[in-house]
Structure 1
Amino acid sequence: MSATQAHIHEDAAPDLPAPGPETPGSASLVAAGDLLRALAAPVRIAIVLQLRTSPRCVHELVDALEVTQPLISQHLRVLKAAGVVRGDRRGREVVYRLVDDHLAHIVVDAVAHVEEET
C-alpha cells in the first residue's frame, strides 16, 4: 500500500461503522472498498465478464473487447494486484483467470441491476 493509500485509509477509518454482530471489522471494510475500486473501471468489468466464461490470454481479451494490448495489460495489472485475477504462464503466453467466482457474481449482479433500471 502506498503512503497516499495508507493516508486515505487512515482518514477514512474514523468514518467506518463500529463492528457489531452484522458489521465486519474496519480492516474488512477497507479491503472490500479496495476490491470494489479495482472493479470500478468499465474495461475491468468487461475483463471479468470475459474471464467468467473461460481463462483468456491477453490477445484474446484484446480481440474480444476491441481495445489495445497496453490498455488490457494495464487493467490486468490492477486486477492482479487486487487479487481478482491470476496469470499462469503457458510457454510464451500468460493465461489469466478469475481467482474465484464470487467476483464474477459481483460484476454480473451490478450489470444486471443497471440493466433493470434502463
Structure 2
Amino acid sequence: MDAAADLFKILGSSSRLLLLHLLASEPCGVGALVERSEMSQPLVSQHLRTLRQSGIVTVVRTGREALYHLADHHIAHVIDDAVTHVLEEKTLDKGEIDEHD
C-alpha cells in the first residue's frame, strides 16, 4: 500500500499527468513535450526528472537526442481510468441519472 500511495503522490500533479498523457500516445523528446504541454522547458525537465527517478518513465538516448517513454502501459491505464472517473462524476453532477441507481 505504501508503494501505491507513493505512486499517487507523484501522479498528484496535473502537470505530470499531462506529460504522462502525452507520452502515452508516443515517446517524445523534451522539445516536443514543451511545445505540446505549453510548459516551460525547465518545468518539463523538472517533472521528467521526478518521473524518471520514480521509474514511471524511461529515457532512451540516441546520440544527442533523448526520447522519453512510459515505463509500462499500466500507468496509462491508471491515468485514463482517473480521467474517465472524473468525467463521469461531472456528468452525474449535471443531473443525469446514474445507471447503477
TM range (shorter): 0.7 to 0.9
In structure 2, the partner of 1:37 is 9
Deviant stretches of 4+, over 3 Å: none
Aligned pair count?
A: 90
Task: Structure 1: give runs of 5+ residues left out of the alignment.
Answer: 1-28
Query: What do you get for the CA RMSD once the two structures are aligned?
Result: 0.8
TM-score (norm 2): 0.85
Q: TM-score, with normalisation over the residues of structure 1?
A: 0.74
1:86–1:98 Cα contact (<8 Å) kept: yes
- Name the counterpart of 2:21: 49
CA contact (8 A) 1:47 1:61 kept: yes
Task: Report the AA paired with residue 56 of structure 2.
Answer: V
Please say if 1:107 is aligned against 2:45.
no
For residues 70 and 117 of structure 1, the distance between their equivalents in structure 2, rounded to whole angstroms, comes to: 34
Whether 2:32 is the aligned partner of 1:60: answer yes
SS at match of 1:77: helix
Aligned 8 A contact 1:34 1:82 in 2: no
Percent identity over paired residues: 44
